[in-house]
Structure 1
Amino acid sequence: MDGLNYTRVTHFTFLGLTSNHSLELTLFVVFGFMYLLILVGNVLIMVTVASDRCLHTPMYFFLGNLSFIDICHSSVTAPKMISDFLSLRKTISFNGCMAQLFFLHLCACAEIFLLTIMAYDRYIAICHPLQYMSLMSLKVCTWLVGALWVGATVHSVVQTVLTVQLPYCGPNILDTFFCDVPPVIKLACTDTYFTGVLIVSNSGMISLVCFLALLVSYIIILVSLRGRTAEGRRKALSTCAAHLLVVALFLGPCIFIYTRPATSFSADKVVAVFYTVVTPMLNPVIYTLRNAEVKNSMKKLRDRKIFFMGT
């Protein structure tokens, strides 16, 4: 395309999840309700962790941050997707598309790094309990959260720059419901093989390496639990099981999408819905239903509010 004139694409059009208008109305209600649950559930966890001093520990500090990231992550794509169910033409400006792509990768990468840090936290708590308070002090936790946002920003900038510098002269139809790197670069008016390799190396390797690090840490934890009492094993496994379930629900789809070449599969849309909407909705349920401390703190918060209302 060097040296040739071309008309730059000014907007992209989504094909969305379906072309059936009746089904779109149903999906509008379903996903609208799911997004509301995401906001309510994750805000409730954040408020509970912040208001109860018993939960001012590294594990719950990270849990509160996970809820914040889940709200941000789902808000990048869900509101646009929900509003598009009521639109005949599902369009987004070029700049809006690049912004959505940037914040999508920022939040997704931040969540991957945070899940890895949470696994490290559990490893220290179970395998090195006497050193836990020194190794996972508030200062250390704050630095870790700051570092994950810096790392996520670098990753997202790389992804966005690799995408935005390509020439786009048409077509502008995206067979999806949000802007992501793989479907967008397929529309570029140039060979994107090298760019695709860089993107797979970046996103795919982050997902895969973090998943392997998580797997190794939990194998070590399981081995260390052999000498514990039955009650100690039960409590440790309960916490770890909730975290492992969240990891599987989030990292599984990420690995499926970002560790292969830019080819489309029929399951891509379903997988994308899963890690952008379903997982952020399920995370509060997973952590509250399996965690007695969080449930007790929520009951205390509820009773306190009822008391205030009656005074």
Structure 2
Amino acid sequence: MANFTMVTEFLLLSSPDGWNMSFLYFTVYPLMYVGALLGNLLIITITTADHTLHTPMYFFLRNLSILDMCFVSITVPNTCVNYLTGNRVISVAGCASQIFLVIFCAYVEIMFLSIMAWDRYVAICQPLQYPIIMNPQFCVRMTLSSLLSGLMYAGVHTGNTFRLSFCQSNVVHQFFCDVPSLLRLSCSDITSNMVLLFVSTIIVGGGSFGIIIMSYIHIFSTVLKVPNKAPGKAFSTCIPHILVVSIFLSSSIGVYLRPSANSDTLQHMLLSAVYTMVPPFLNPLIYSLRNKQVKDAVRRVIQRQLFSRK
């Protein structure tokens, strides 16, 4: 039998050979992280404090903001600290936890985005049935279903990855632990892992994207049929949402569906940074700066605070 050493810890790769990533780790990543935290915290505060925003749409938006704060906190702070201190070591348990949390947050993120697109479809295309369909019980059930199915989805992929044997190299070609990078280090047969990864990504990503696109197609066709109604508002809200979903899905699919042994390290790391950081950073901008209701609510909350101090 060939000699090999079982892996007891992993070493994260801060940057590919020949590339200096200091600019990203000291400026871009921290700025995006702080921006994502502040933007999502603002949405959570406003949608909680202002009673006019206690609607299904803003219920899911608040949950999405909480999720985004968790999502961006899983990888960015640890990555920046590791790069600053030079400590690249992560335990097997820590690596498994990171994989589980990243997959869980990514899954629930796309579920929430799909539900929010469906919510807009019902509000615009079936306004009379909106209170009946999007009732509080339905909203809570959809949220719990997304969270519970996300736990199962993440658990299956994490368990299926760590049932493999890892030997020889322990260098993870990524700034955080993810499934494709670990599959490159395995000395076991990874065929079933690749099939599961491919099928589940296509079903979840493709199904969610199909729901979102079909919802917006119906929204656009309904708005265009209404006489004397400018479609600009619907387009200005829906198109940025579609762009964020497209960026999220294309980057995550690019990471998880490319053959891991042949993937370019730098491209793999940049695509991973996009799907873990860009949606949490852009979502608050789309739903606050471009949303008159949210801006009015911010104004009301600030005025209330000022008057209460007087």
Q: TM-score, normalised by structure 1?
A: 0.92
Tell me which of 148, 151, 154 is aligned to 2:152.
154
Q: Does the CA-based 8 Å contact 1:204-1:258 persist in structure 2?
A: no
Moved more, 254-263 or 265-274: 254-263
1:269 aligns with 269
Question: How far 1:77 moved relative to its partner?
Answer: 0.7
Question: How far 1:6 moved relative to its partner?
Answer: 5.5
Matched AA of 1:160 = T
Question: How far 1:115 moved relative to its partner?
Answer: 0.8
Moved more, 293-302 or 257-266: 257-266
Once the two structures are superposed, residues 128-171 of structure 1 have per-residue CA deviations (whole angstroms, 9 ceiling, x without a partner) of 11000000011111111111111111110110011010011221
Question: How far 1:52 moved relative to its partner?
Answer: 0.6
Over 3 Å counting, the alpha-carbon distance change for 1:204 and 1:93 in structure 2 is farther
Gaps of 5+ in 2: none
1:236 aligns with 2:234: yes
* Cα distance in structure 1, aligned partners of 2:257 and 2:210: 14
Note the 1:1-311 alignment, pairs <5 A.
7-17=5-15, 23-24=21-22, 27-231=25-229, 233-262=231-260, 263-265=262-264, 266-308=266-308, 310-311=309-310
Secondary structure of the equivalent of 1:9? coil
Once the two structures are superposed, residues 81-111 of structure 1 have per-residue CA deviations (whole angstroms, 9 ceiling, x without a partner) of 1112212241211110000000000000000
Count of aligned pairs between the two proteins: 308
Moved more, 109-118 or 191-200: 191-200
Q: Percent identity?
A: 37
RMSD: 2.2
Matched AA of 1:139 = Q
* Cα distance in structure 1, aligned partners of 2:182 and 2:233: 45
Question: How far 1:173 moved relative to its partner?
Answer: 0.6
Gaps of 5+ in 1: none
Over 3 Å counting, the alpha-carbon distance change for 1:238 and 1:23 in structure 2 is closer
Moved more, 7-16 or 225-234: 225-234
* Cα distance in structure 2, aligned partners of 1:7 and 1:33: 40
Over 3 Å counting, the alpha-carbon distance change for 1:280 and 1:17 in structure 2 is farther
